[in-house]
């Protein structure tokens, strides 16, 4: 597909956020929506994600977004109409310090007040869910049965295919280099395939959002952070229906991947991760690693998304800085930025996540970051 000379709205970035935005633009009646992706759809952070979907956050707005996104991912085979293999086998957070227990207790109370069926567990109750855990040094755990994980690439393709059926255009292998601004307004996008005239741009390019925003004179404080993922050979004796289990103090996590286990953490290498991983899940010591990959978290200063519309230049809408929870927020945030770009009312008030919070001292920390 060649680059059109003009469009009504251009989406920059073909991960789940951009694909969701494109679908919601087309669904809302946008006559000429275009998505530009530097490589292939889902090839950036989305394809490297572990696929978690949860409502177990500490920030009220994230909890509300999480609940709605769970509902939409449950309905994904009907709308937009694609199978994403959503396994609602829960999220299990393992807590080892009094500070973690206090923080997660507050989070669970808030979650329950908003309708999330999360609950505090004893270490023994956690071990009953995942029998091979080492729990002797744990103080508590939390669990939510409606959380789970899905296939990120399938969600991207589902949104993009549905958008195409509604008349939207996707151009892959086309790298944007500049958001062109004239007299305080967006007027176009320059790419490796040429120039497209447009008055509204949705910037959802993950860790590349910062440099693209800078071409329009906007500073978005997003920094890349590498995260590695490992998949074992089959052969473990854990239950098939495993929750996404997280040792919060170390960041080590794992979940079922076919007949294997997928695991990762906050550290850079398998050598760094191995001591914490084997301590919490001794079975890993006997399981060879079959494959590995890495991708970027796009980190914001307060670990919350950066979402909104610029007053200057007019016409620039942004969605980035998700700090590891972009895939799970794709349905709601993608719709939000699409409607913002079209000047239509939005179901959620995401103004607390706008760039302005960093200038006004209104940053709001998300504590439950994996």
For residue 253, give the 3-state DSSP assignment: strand
The pair of structure tokens assigned to 357 is 């919070």
Instruction: Give 180's contacts (C-beta < 8 A, 6+ positions apart).
Output: 186, 187, 188, 189, 190, 195, 215, 216
The secondary structure element, H or E, covering residue 9 is strand 9-12
The answer to whether the CB of 276 falls within 8 A of the CB of 295 is no
pLDDT at 47: 82
The answer to whether the CB of 284 falls within 8 A of the CB of 277 is yes
Pairing of strands 201-203, 9-12: parallel
pLDDT at 259: 95
The answer to whether the CB of 321 falls within 8 A of the CB of 304 is yes
The secondary structure element, H or E, covering residue 52 is strand 52-53
Q: What is the pTM of this model?
A: 0.96
pLDDT at 45: 86
- β-strand partners of 189: 179, 196
Show pLDDT as tens, one digit a residue, over the chain (370 residues): 899 999 999 999 999 999 999 999 999 999 899 999 999 999 988 888 889 999 999 999 999 999 999 999 999 999 999 999 999 999 999 999 999 999 999 999 999 999 999 999 999 999 999 999 999 999 999 999 999 999 999 999 999 999 999 999 999 999 999 999 999 999 999 999 999 999 999 999 999 999 999 999 999 999 999 999 999 999 999 999 999 999 999 999 999 999 999 999 998 789 999 999 999 999 999 999 999 999 999 999 999 999 999 999 999 999 999 999 999 999 999 999 999 999 999 999 999 999 999 999 998 899 999 8
- β-strand partners of 87: 149
Q: What is the dihedral of CA 338, 341, 346, 349, to 10 degrees?
A: 110
Q: What is the dihedral of CA 284, 232, 256, 269, to 10 degrees?
A: 80
């Amino acid at each position: 597909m060649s680059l059109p000379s003009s469009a009504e709205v251009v989406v920059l970035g073909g991960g789940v956020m951009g694909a969701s935005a494109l679908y919601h633009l087309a669904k809302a009646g946008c006559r000429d929506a275009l998505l530009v992706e530097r490589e292939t759809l889902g090839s950036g952070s989305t394809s490297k994600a572990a696929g978690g979907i949860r409502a177990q956050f500490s920030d009220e707005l994230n909890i509300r977004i999480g609940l709605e996104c769970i509902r939409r991912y449950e309905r994904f085979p009907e709308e937009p109409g694609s199978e994403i293999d959503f396994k609602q086998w829960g999220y299990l957070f393992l807590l080892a310090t009094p500070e973690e227990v206090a923080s997660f207790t507050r989070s669970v109370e808030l979650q329950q007040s908003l309708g999330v069926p999360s609950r505090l567990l004893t270490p023994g109750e956690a071990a009953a869910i995942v029998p091979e855990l080492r729990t002797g040094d744990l103080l508590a755990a939390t669990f939510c049965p409606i959380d789970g994980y899905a296939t990120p690439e399938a969600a991207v393709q589902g949104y993009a295919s549905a958008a195409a059926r509604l008349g939207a255009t996707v151009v892959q292998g086309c790298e944007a280099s500049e958001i062109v601004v004239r007299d305080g307004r967006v007027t176009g996008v320059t790419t490796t395939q040429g120039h497209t005239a447009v008055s509204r741009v949705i910037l959802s390019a993950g860790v590349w959002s910062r440099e693209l925003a800078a071409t329009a004179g906007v500073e978005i404080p997003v920094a890349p952070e590498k995260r590695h993922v490992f998949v074992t050979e089959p052969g473990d004796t854990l239950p098939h229906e495993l929750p996404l289990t997280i040792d919060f103090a170390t960041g080590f996590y794992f979940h079922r991947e076919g007949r294997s286990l997928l695991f990762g953490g906050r550290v850079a290498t398998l050598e760094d991760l191995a001591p914490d991983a084997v301590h919490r899940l001794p079975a890993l010591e006997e399981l060879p690693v079959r494959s590995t990959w890495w991708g970027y978290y796009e980190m914001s200063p307060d670990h919350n998304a950066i979402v909104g519309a610029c007053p200057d230049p007019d016409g620039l809408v942004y969605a980035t800085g998700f700090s590891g929870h972009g895939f799970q927020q794709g349905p709601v945030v993608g719709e939000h930025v699409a409607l913002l770009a079209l000047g239509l009312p939005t179901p959620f008030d995401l103004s607390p996540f706008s760039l302005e919070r960093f200038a006004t001292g209104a940053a709001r920390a998300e504590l439950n970051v994996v």
